[in-house]
Structure 1
Amino acid sequence: MPPRVPRMKALSARPNRPFHGATPSAGTPNLPRALRTPILITMLQGADRFETLPEDARASIIDAAADAITRGGRVVFPTDTVYGLAASSASTSAVAALREHSGRPDGALTWHAPSVEAVARAFDLPTPVHRRLISKLLPARTRFLLEQRPETIDAWLRAFGNDADAIRAAVVENNIVSIRVPAHPVTRAILERVSAPVVAIGVGHAAPNEADGFDVIIDDGPSPDRDPSTAVELALNGAFRVRSVGAVSEADVLAALTRTVVFVCTGNTCRSPMAEAIARDLIAKRAEDGLSTRALSAGVSASRGSPASAEAVDAMAALGLDLHNHRSTPLSRELLESADAVFTMTEDHAETARRLDRRSAHKVERLDPDTDIDDPIGGPVELYRDVADRLAALIARRLGELDHDPRNGPYGGAPA
């Protein structure tokens, strides 16, 4: 059965009311007449259903909203928390209307960025704490108040030419920019289409059912989360605080500062437990950077509760490390989901882990990118010690990469 096309209809007693600021030109491509008046777009329930719509229906929704914002109009769109009333930060009249609607005539509004990468391109994220919190808590239900150097803000604004002053007045206050990255696919697609930063205020858990001066209303049903976004302040020196708690708890914000690294072999009795012990020792000796890292291990064919091999225990004892309390753990989908990085001993282990959880496949790499680390089982303790020395060098390098790894910072990685 083909997917339903969203229902679109004109609103209010002013059926031919144009977008704020201008009348759409005759050259506007492929936009039905209904999309050039105040309209209500009622989508299928659930943000993920947007992707099931025909391509032309998706394009019409996105074009209508993006065109309205670009022309100085106001658009209601869904986010992961409350609905947002959005406008272009380059339109002083639209920004003034948003402030009047909110009842707060002063202060900066929140830039709703299209992606985490857009935030990273625009602003400095100089500390591991900045990069970690932004990469773990965006996109979705967190708003960041990001302190920046004046010259960084100036450089960002210069890209907007004659609109720079208007944008500064809308989004910058005391060298702080308020930022959100919505997760809703419709909203992110709209934001990608608008060249100037889009600002928005919350307007409730359900879309308004009348125009009230809005140009486009995208109704995707009641918001899944009834709490507003959580606000987190990030200072230039890496200090942070939770200014207000909403959809994300303070405990979850703090938990985002803990990275999890998982080492994987076959039975979780030789190579991976040695890697875990070495990693924990190296982590304990690292300089404080505001983050914590925990090391775990598992096996693709492990039974639960087996001790480390005697040779592995001896090899670790020679390094001053204790494996007597280790008990084997089978690799699970839950462990892969919780990990930030998964390092395997062989390519076969990596492929097994990727098949176990496709959504975590981007996290999985062979510890030595060039070659497998063979199993020393059955060999003398000297072989185990050689493997341990090799593991130590590789793990030191991998831990050094974590702070700027694209998967763990706002420079790429897995899709949202």
Structure 2
Amino acid sequence: MNFAALSPDESTPFRIIFVCTGNICRSPMAEVMLRDLVTRSGLGRLITTSSAGTGDWHVGEQADTRTISALAKRGYDGSHHRARQFDAGWFDDLDLVVVLDRSQERILRNWAPTERDRNKVRLLLSFDRDQATLRDVPDPYYSDDALFDSVLGMIERANFALFAQLAPAIRQGVR
């Protein structure tokens, strides 16, 4: 994705949402981790992060305890997260819709009302050259703590790659 044309300012931050299935495992990891990176970089006013799920099974619930634990082991706080379901009406207010696997990619592209909105949908691993061929971040929900830790590692690497592409364009647009 080409971020070269960005010119955000403090009144219109660049808005990113991460979307997985239930919004209790992968997308909260991605949201919390990128928000921390953005805040530490001093760009917190210029980039906002959120997350949602394609399904409504967990709406209002905290992130899975294994998600919170995996995040905490790496110094992130996921305790305030509450799951919600993605609403197609949000597309107008978003700049980038980052999905964790191809099933969410298909769903969100089908929900997108315009071609412009469909083009906002991107697989997270596509930002990381080393992981792009994997395409999907595995869903750890039916697995153990070790897979949660491994999935968070994948998400961190991809988020660092996304941020490395996004941050220069954001900084360039700030006067």
- TM-score bracket relative to the smaller structure: 0.7 to 0.9
SS at match of 1:358: coil
Matched-pair contact (CA < 8 Å) for 2:101–2:136 = yes
Matched-pair contact (CA < 8 Å) for 1:306–1:328 = yes
Identity %: 26
Alignment partner, residue 203 of structure 1: none
Aligned AA (1:343): V
Offset of 1:374 from its aligned partner?
1.1
Query: Structure 2: any 5+ residue segments left out of the alignment?
Result: 127-131
Are 2:123 and 1:366 aligned?
yes
SS at match of 1:321: coil
SS at match of 2:82: coil
Alignment partner, residue 141 of structure 2: 377
Offset of 1:326 from its aligned partner?
1.1
Are 2:22 and 1:267 aligned?
yes
Aligned AA (1:255): S
Residues 323 and 254 of structure 1: is their aligned pair in 2 closer, same or farther, counting only changes over 3 Å?
closer
Aligned AA (1:361): R
Are 2:102 and 1:347 aligned?
yes
**Which among 134, 140, 164 is matched to residue 400 of structure 1?**
164
Matched-pair contact (CA < 8 Å) for 2:10–2:45 = no
Matched-pair contact (CA < 8 Å) for 2:88–2:113 = no
Are 2:54 and 1:294 aligned?
no
Residues 379 and 296 of structure 1: is their aligned pair in 2 closer, same or farther, counting only changes over 3 Å?
same
SS at match of 2:163: helix
Offset of 1:302 from its aligned partner?
2.9
Offset of 1:254 from its aligned partner?
4.6
* Counterpart-to-counterpart distance in 2, 1:404 and 1:350: 26
Within-5 A mapping of 1:214-363 = 254-256=10-12, 258-288=13-43, 292-303=46-57, 304-359=59-114, 360-363=117-120
User: Which protein is richer in strand relative to its size?
Assistant: 1
* Counterpart-to-counterpart distance in 1, 2:84 and 2:67: 16
Within-5 A mapping of 1:8-19 = none
Kindly name which structure, 1 or 2, has the bigger radius of gyration based on alpha carbons: 1
Alignment partner, residue 153 of structure 2: 389
SS at match of 1:132: coil
Offset of 1:287 from its aligned partner?
4.5
Within-5 A mapping of 1:192-203 = none
Q: Aligned residue pairs: how many? A: 157
Cα distance per residue 1:340-361 (max 9 Å; x no partner): 1111011110111111123211
Residues 131 and 346 of structure 1: is their aligned pair in 2 closer, same or farther, counting only changes over 3 Å?
closer
Aligned AA (1:395): N
Runs of 4+ in structure 1 off by over 4 angstroms are none
Aligned AA (2:54): V
SS at match of 2:52: strand
* Counterpart-to-counterpart distance in 2, 1:284 and 1:291: 8
Aligned AA (1:390): M
* Counterpart-to-counterpart distance in 2, 1:391 and 1:382: 14
Query: Structure 1: any 5+ residue segments left out of the alignment?
Result: 1-127, 134-252, 410-416
Alignment partner, residue 167 of structure 1: none
* Counterpart-to-counterpart distance in 1, 2:15 and 2:92: 10
Alignment partner, residue 129 of structure 2: none
Offset of 1:328 from its aligned partner?
0.5
TM-score (norm 1): 0.36
Q: Which has the higher contact order (CA 8 A, sep 6+)?
A: 2
TM-score (norm 2): 0.81
Cα distance per residue 1:240-297 (max 9 Å; x no partner): xxxxxxxxxxxxx7522x1111101000000000111101111111145x96111100
Cα distance per residue 1:183-218 (max 9 Å; x no partner): xxxxxxxxxxxxxxxxxxxxxxxxxxxxxxxxxxxx
